[in-house]
Amino acid sequence: MSRPDVVVAVVGIDHRHIYGMLQGMVDAGATCKGWWTEGELQTIAGFVKRFPEVPRVADRRTLLDDPDIDLVLIASAPHHRANHAIEAMESGKDVMLDKPGCISLDELDRVKKAVDRTGRIWSLDFSERFEVPSALKALELVRGGAIGTVVQTLSMGPHRLNRATRPAWFFDKSLYGGILGDIGTHQIDQFLTFTGSKTARIVTATARNVGNPRDPAFQDFGEIMLESETARGYARLDWFTPDALPAWGDGRLTVLGTEGYIELRKYVDIEGRAGSDHLFLVNNAESRYIDCANIPLTYFRDLAADVANRTQTAMTFDHAAEVTRLALEAQMMADGQR
């Protein structure tokens, strides 16, 4: 590629994660040539406010057929994402998707075949790691040996429901993939990454509707236990963040090693320090707090370089596909399908 900067386009803004996805690429030096979405969504006002200079197009083929566009960002409804990604890859574009990238093993198989056939990049923005500075610092410390060999990860992914802002597909498991197949991907990504594991086994998985009986196809609570050859992991996910919390969720991650542990309070330190990205490190030499709020994000910059250089530094396809497979298997186990 002769151009130093990546040109992107947006297909689907059904989820607000698209705001961070596009802003991350713009901050990495990319330019956005246009966006398309189906229908008139609540997310449009926020998108236009953030990116007023980016034009909307009436037909997504306008973007997919544009030879100047290198990377397509996809945040359409989950049951459309696999098809939109395959369509974009077959049009010669790399893709970055909001999670989940797929909601069935059949979709994942079709994605794998499309990647093999086209040679394009299929990347997932695991925002609970890629958009969290404290997670980047924690990974640096782990890989530097600060806590020895990782034994276990304990992760919590609570979310605020914000019912009034949610579209109909959000409450239908057949359309969003279930709580484990959806936000469970974040926790599985973190387990594989922090333990240095290429794969894992789902030991047990549960998913239920506890507090939303009027939406029987919605799951608001889930758990996953998994293990690799070297470590174990536990994750709890829910949609019960109370209104008084000054953040959308009290996301936490504890990484236990043979010589210490790290705890992240990603978004809020309840009744403690202000702001986000709080890291606590305890090992045999020290016990200290690290403010990580100003640590620069790297995923978007690395993905831009991957698009330009045909490399896989931001994330390998094998990792993205394995996280997706495990999340789908966990969801199937929880639903009694395996």
pLDDT at 3: 46
Is the fold of 7-125 the same as that of 129-297? no
pLDDT at 2: 39
Tokens of 53: 């200079």
Q: Which CATH superfamily is domain 7-125 in?
A: NAD(P)-binding Rossmann-like Domain (3.40.50.720)
Domain locations in the chain as residue ranges: 7-125, 129-297
Peptide bond into 100 cis (omega under 30): yes
Tokens of 239: 């949609």
Regions of the chain where pLDDT drops below 50? 1-3
The predicted-structure confidence for 171-181, as pLDDT tens digits, reads as follows 999 999 999 99
CATH-assigned architecture of domain 129-297: 2-Layer Sandwich (3.30)
Within 13 A of 162's CA, how many CA atoms are on the CB side?
Answer: 14
Please name which of 159, 202, 211 lies closest in space to residue 182, comparing C-alpha atoms.
159
pLDDT at 338: 64
Please name which of 197, 205, 209 lies closest in space to residue 322, comparing C-alpha atoms.
197
Which contiguous run of DSSP H or E holds residue 100? none
pLDDT at 5: 87
